[in-house]
């Protein structure tokens, strides 16, 4: 078959007229600029693709656009990026019953009854936050009491500290709990007074007798939870997230949202394991999907556990548990195997490392791999909490990115002092040291473990003080970062950490028009004021996705 | 924030100039038309979205277009649609070694050796088609002989009839086969003469001792297999397929291709089960993705087995196995539960039903469900092979679609006569009866069980004769369909069966420009000529995806 060229290609080059562009003016705009420094502006033009066409200062001529939005003098910052969160955990958590504000058993039962009535379609009622001490009950509540509120479906509610759970009779039946069920090592099945009958409360390791019976959420429930997660994050001013530990179920949820044009959050996904990574992405990371809203970037690897439960892997024993150094969850050989498998496909590894030994081994593995896999790899270490000062310089080498959560520092301070003792804290949450050594930071929240509120993160990052202003002057304040660095950590640097620079994270021409309008200037507000920042509007890709009442 | 409307919406309504349109002329075009009847044309215009803009006859004025393709007088028909195939099975099968053309053990070993060398990345070498009788060997081949060709990787090769497999030593080691491995019921582990040592050949049920050790293909291997499947199908003139029994692994493979713009086959997917259906699609079928290339339509349900293995569920016992009626794989209550779950989400069920009892129960279940779930449901019965004449009228009710495979009739004829006896064949492969009763047909191949060649399907559908012209005049020729009906079964009716009418399946303005150029007119060719049709080019969405050498 012959192929004939009939017309000039010039005819094909006619520009498509813009669908609509929008001027957002009367704002106090700020962004990290091309030079990595703060840049201020007063108006922004969004093009018809939802990208920033132009940012303007008072001196610039205002261009002609199809639409205009008046910013009413609000402060405009780039959409905030959470470099370490668990998107589905946020959504599923937000859909469960919260009893933390109840002051009596009666009040709690009332709230449980109402929640069950409002959520008829849910096969199980799940919740958390009860505290029998606060209720003045003087004992644990019972399954029979819970049955008086909900008897037609299983109910399981975690105590405020997560160390006990309260079940109704149907939940215990579903879990096969009877008078002959024994308490497991490290846990206790509570009994009725003077009887072997289980009372309905399961303490510590006994909780798993119950939790294993709770069905995994169905895809339709996941869709609801994901919509809720987007809502929660946008309300907090967050427009993009690195999702840590994405399963195939999570990924399908994101795709279902994307397929029906309901994906408003940008997600940089890190698979829950090598098999999930390949099942989702195949031989290479996926392309950016849905106009830069979703990409499978790489793989999350748990090198060790957490400090609180003494699962973090330390070089020396825990100060409050001599002889225990914690353990690697992924041994050195396996870590290197997974890293090779990831690197061969250009997948980006995100290595969870909390303790000194874990961070040392992560850095060593990265140094070894960097010889075989040169180039722009952006090896991520997640948390990077407790680093042997002798190892700190490793964060300035091989393009390592320390993905850290400022609020963990303020939450964990006393616990970290107990676990490590006063003399081993020099490399703890060492944000400034890492920057000074030429390393790269990205900031996040670890939500739902902590609140996703990035303004709390910005305040902690710049003060090392908690919400109560404690300790005054900050804990090891030499590790504070300045306000520009903190803002970069939650915007441009978090985008870079996910290979998204140039796509979003800054309000510069060509990047996606993701921004937040807030009621105060985060570069000028006091720490207390910063924590009280009100998000007025959140925009993603030139579309408003949240507006305060 | 205030919102100000600055310019007239008229400015936004400016037409986008066409990227490029293409005239394909000098063809003998034919398609099923708007009225369901054959329509002929001489040229076709493709618009810039890859849709049919216009079809022209000799009397029409030729429009101005950017490009022109000369059809050189070829016959143009709509892209053929296979309403029942297993896409990944086609690809994986096409990537394995085919020994069916070897005439001696030496020749086979040579071919195996070459294949292994050409496929270094494959962890296992898999193949099929050997026949020691044809080789004149007088005995089964041995593991040691296979080791002489490939000793560095496991090899497993199925005999031509699928009733035996030949392993090398590494494969037997991987499967844990030793001299103490016993033959299972219904199977035999072949032994070396005068020894208990396994010889390397596994007969019938003993095959599973080996096949369970073969690792599932990895996603990267699936990507290769899928590319191969697209190639095979396009070479056969097929542009769209109903994929029966889509797993999450299959779906991810299709999406990876779609995400990188490498999806050239249109796939109407039917999930392998309710959990896969929900994991993939959530509460409702997915939208049409990638410009009408992929949609999760519904669910495949196995009501019974196959006739050959006497797994089809019959009302009366098998003529050649008195007392055996086969069995439902999905019992009546479970079938209805799955159908309700599907129908609630507007998922389309595709019920595999081969035997008389299976077809009767499928029709009964559909009739029951149709009361609760009215509307356009298009309940599909797959195969619909052996129907009690008393039940045939059910195919004209409730919008049932009979998704049938013409070549199965020619392949199964003698076997069906043996299984059912001569007196129970009135409702066997009853294509014409179904049409006459007002039912709807869709045609497919069941590839890789049969060849995907749709021209063999068209010939079988219109003649009830096999490739050798047997039996002369056709088997139960009253069940032939005419040529328009056969073409519709592989085009417009197959699209309708997948809710794709108006999107593809016909060459009418607004539908996707999916077409095939062939070297003869299927409405005029003799059966033998029809089977020898040569596909010259295959186009999907206005893009050429195959061209013969």
pLDDT tens-place values along chain A, 549 residues long = 344 433 333 333 333 334 679 999 999 999 999 999 999 999 999 999 999 999 999 999 999 999 999 999 999 999 999 999 999 999 999 999 999 899 999 999 999 999 999 998 888 999 998 999 899 999 999 999 999 999 999 999 998 877 889 999 999 999 999 999 999 988 899 999 999 999 999 998 899 999 999 999 999 999 999 999 999 999 999 999 999 999 999 999 999 999 999 999 999 999 999 999 999 999 999 999 999 999 999 999 999 998 988 899 999 999 999 999 998 999 999 999 999 999 999 999 999 999 999 999 999 999 999 999 999 999 999 999 999 999 999 999 999 999 999 999 999 999 999 999 999 999 999 999 999 999 999 999 999 988 999 999 999 999 999 999 999 999 999 999 999 999 999 999 999 999 999 999 999 999 999 999 999 999 999 999 999 999 999 999 999 999 999
Query: Are A504 and A91 in contact, with CB atoms under 8 Å apart?
Result: no
| pLDDT above 50 for B10 | no
**Test the A interface: residue of B4, B6, B277 with most A CBs within 10 Å:** B6
B344 part of a folded domain: yes
Residue contact B287–A14, C-beta within 8 A: no
Query: Are B379 and B306 in contact, with CB atoms under 8 Å apart?
Result: no
Which of B426, B458, B479 marks a domain boundary?
A: B479
Alpha carbon of A197 to those of A148, A172, A178, A191, B291: distances in Å?
18, 11, 7, 5, 61
A356 part of a folded domain: yes
Q: Which residue of chain A has the CA closest to B260?
A: A287
Task: Say whether A397 sits in a helix, a strand or coil.
Answer: coil
Which of B210, B228, B259 marks a domain boundary?
A: B210
Q: What stretch of H or E contains B259?
A: helix B248-259
Alpha carbon of B491 to those of A215, B38, B409: distances in Å?
44, 12, 20
**Test the B interface: residue of A46, A63, A259 with most B CBs within 10 Å:** A259
Query: Are A25 and A42 in contact, with CB atoms under 8 Å apart?
Result: yes
Residue contact A2–B283, C-beta within 8 A: no
Query: What's the gap in Å between the CA of B543 and the closest CA on chain A?
Result: 13
Q: Is it true that the peptide bond before B471 is cis, omega within 30 degrees of 0? A: yes
Q: Which residue of chain A has the CA closest to B278?
A: A219
Using CB atoms, pick whichever of B5, B67, B223 lies closest to residue A282.
Answer: B223
B452 part of a folded domain: yes
Please check whether residues A203 and A347 belong to one and the same domain: no
B364 part of a folded domain: yes
Please check whether residues B313 and B199 belong to one and the same domain: no
B1 part of a folded domain: no
State how far the Cα of B22 lies from the Cα of B40, in Å rounded to an integer: 19
| Chain B residues within 8 A of A517 when measuring between CB atoms | 1
pLDDT one-digit tens code per residue, B190-246: 999 999 999 999 998 899 999 999 999 999 999 999 999 999 999 999 999 999 999
B98 part of a folded domain: no
Query: Are B385 and B307 in contact, with CB atoms under 8 Å apart?
Result: yes
| Chain B residues within 8 A of A218 when measuring between CB atoms | 278
Longest dimension (CA), chain A: 95
The CA radius of gyration of chain B, in Å to the nearest whole number, is 25
Strand A38-41, strand A28-32: pairing? antiparallel
| Adjacency order of strands within the sheet including B3-5 | A52-56, A43-46, A22-25, A67-70, B3-5
Using CB atoms, pick whichever of A12, A248, A280 lies closest to residue B20.
Answer: A12
Structure tokens at A500: 């998204």
Please state the domain count of chain A. Answer: 2
Residue contact B279–A72, C-beta within 8 A: no
pTM of the predicted structure, to 2 decimals: 0.89
**Domain containing residue B180: CATH number:** 3.10.310.70
State how far the Cα of B417 lies from the Cα of B404, in Å rounded to an integer: 19
B385 part of a folded domain: yes
> B290: exposed, middle or buried (C-beta count within 10 Å: 0-12, 13-18, 19+)?
middle
Query: What's the gap in Å between the CA of A285 and the closest CA on chain B?
Result: 10
| Chain B residues within 8 A of A260 when measuring between CB atoms | 287
Q: Which residue range(s) make up the domain with B313?
A: 302-479
Q: Which residue of chain B has the CA closest to A288?
A: B259
**Test the A interface: residue of B250, B251, B274, B279 with most A CBs within 10 Å:** B279
Please check whether residues A309 and A448 belong to one and the same domain: yes
Instruction: Please spell the DSSP secondary structure of A164-210, one letter per residue.
Output: EEEE-HHHHHHTT--TTPPPPTTEEEEE-TTSSSEEEEEEETTHHHH
Residue contact A287–B1, C-beta within 8 A: no
Which of B449, B479, B509 marks a domain boundary?
A: B479
Structure tokens at A347: 């997948």
Task: Say whether A381 sits in a helix, a strand or coil.
Answer: strand
Q: What stretch of H or E contains A300?
A: strand A294-302
Dihedrals phi, psi of B205, to nearest 5 degrees? -60, -20
Strand B380-383, strand A266-271: pairing? unpaired
State how far the Cα of A439 lies from the Cα of A403, in Å rounded to an integer: 11
Structure tokens at B40: 């002929």
Query: What's the gap in Å between the CA of A349 and the closest CA on chain B?
Result: 19
Using CB atoms, pick whichever of A6, A279, A289 lies closest to residue B252.
Answer: A279
| Chain B residues within 8 A of A249 when measuring between CB atoms | 279
State how far the Cα of A271 lies from the Cα of A266, in Å rounded to an integer: 16
| Chain B residues within 8 A of A220 when measuring between CB atoms | 278, 282-283
**Domain containing residue B434: CATH number:** 3.20.20.140
Residue contact A1–B537, C-beta within 8 A: yes
State how far the Cα of B380 lies from the Cα of B457, in Å rounded to an integer: 19
Residue contact B66–A6, C-beta within 8 A: yes
State how far the Cα of A163 lies from the Cα of A352, in Å rounded to an integer: 24
Using CB atoms, pick whichever of A20, A252, A286 lies closest to residue B280.
Answer: A252
Q: Which residue of chain B has the CA closest to A284?
A: B220
State how far the Cα of A452 lies from the Cα of A445, in Å rounded to an integer: 5
- State the DSSP code for A287: P
Please check whether residues B321 and B433 belong to one and the same domain: yes
Residue contact A67–B5, C-beta within 8 A: yes
B129 part of a folded domain: yes
């Amino acid at each position: 078959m012959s192929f004939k060229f009939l017309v000039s290609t010039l005819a094909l080059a006619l520009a498509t007229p813009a669908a609509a562009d929008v001027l957002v003016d009367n704002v106090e705009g700020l962004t990290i600029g091309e030079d990595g420094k703060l840049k201020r502006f007063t108006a922004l033009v969004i093009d018809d693709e939802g990208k920033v066409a132009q940012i303007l200062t008072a001196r610039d001529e205002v261009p002609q656009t199809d639409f205009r939005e008046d910013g009413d003098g609000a402060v405009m910052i780039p959409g905030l990026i959470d470099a370490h969160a668990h998107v589905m955990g946020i959504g599923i958590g937000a859909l469960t019953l919260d009893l933390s504000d109840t002051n009596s058993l009666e009040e709690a039962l009332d709230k449980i009854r109402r929640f069950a009535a409002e959520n008829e379609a849910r096969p199980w009622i799940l919740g958390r936050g009860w505290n029998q001490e606060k209720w003045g009950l003087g004992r644990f509540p019972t399954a029979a009491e819970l049955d008086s509120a909900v008897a037609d479906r299983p109910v399981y509610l975690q105590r405020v500290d997560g160390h006990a759970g309260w079940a109704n009779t149907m939940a215990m039946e579903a879990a096969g709990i009877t008078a002959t069920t024994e308490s497991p090592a490290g846990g206790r099945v509570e009994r009725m007074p003077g009887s072997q009958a289980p009372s309905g409360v399961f303490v510590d390791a006994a909780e798993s007798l119950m939790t294993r019976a709770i069905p995994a959420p169905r895809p339709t429930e996941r869709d609801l939870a994901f919509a809720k997660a987007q809502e929660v994050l946008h309300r907090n001013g967050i427009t993009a997230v690195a999702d840590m530990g994405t399963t195939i179920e999570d990924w399908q949820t994101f795709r279902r949202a994307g397929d029906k044009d309901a994906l408003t959050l940008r997600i940089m996904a890190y698979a829950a394991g090598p098999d999930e990574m390949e099942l989702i992405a195949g031989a290479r990371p996926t392309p950016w999907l849905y106009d830069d809203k979703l990409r499978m970037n790489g793989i999350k690897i748990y090198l060790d556990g957490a400090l609180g439960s003494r699962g973090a892997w330390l070089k020396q024993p825990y100060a409050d548990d001599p002889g225990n150094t914690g353990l690697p969850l992924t041994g050195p050989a396996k870590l290197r195997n997974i890293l090779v498998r990831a690197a061969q496909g250009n997948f980006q590894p995100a290595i969870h490392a909390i303790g000194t030994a874990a961070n040392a081994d992560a850095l060593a593995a990265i140094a070894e791999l960097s010889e075989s896999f040169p180039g722009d790899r952006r090896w991520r270490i997640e948390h990077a909490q407790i680093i042997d000062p002798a190892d700190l310089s490793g964060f300035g080498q091989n393009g390592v990115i320390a993905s850290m959560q400022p609020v963990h520092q303020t939450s964990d301070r006393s616990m970290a002092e107990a676990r490590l003792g006063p003399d081993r804290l020099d490399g703890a949450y060492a944000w400034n040291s890492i920057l000074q050594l030429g390393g790269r930071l990205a900031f996040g929240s670890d939500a739902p473990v902590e609140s996703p509120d990035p303004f709390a993160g910005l305040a902690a990052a710049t003060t090392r003080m908690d919400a109560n202003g404690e300790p005054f002057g900050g804990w090891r304040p030499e590790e504070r970062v300045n306000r520009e660095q903190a803002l970069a950590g939650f915007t441009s640097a978090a985008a870079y950490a996910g290979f998204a620079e140039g796509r979003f994270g800054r309000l510069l021409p060509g990047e996606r028009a993701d921004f937040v309008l807030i009621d105060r200037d985060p570069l000028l507000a006091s720490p207390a004021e910063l924590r009280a920042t009100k998000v007025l509007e959140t925009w993603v890709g030139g579309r408003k996705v949240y507006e305060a009442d």
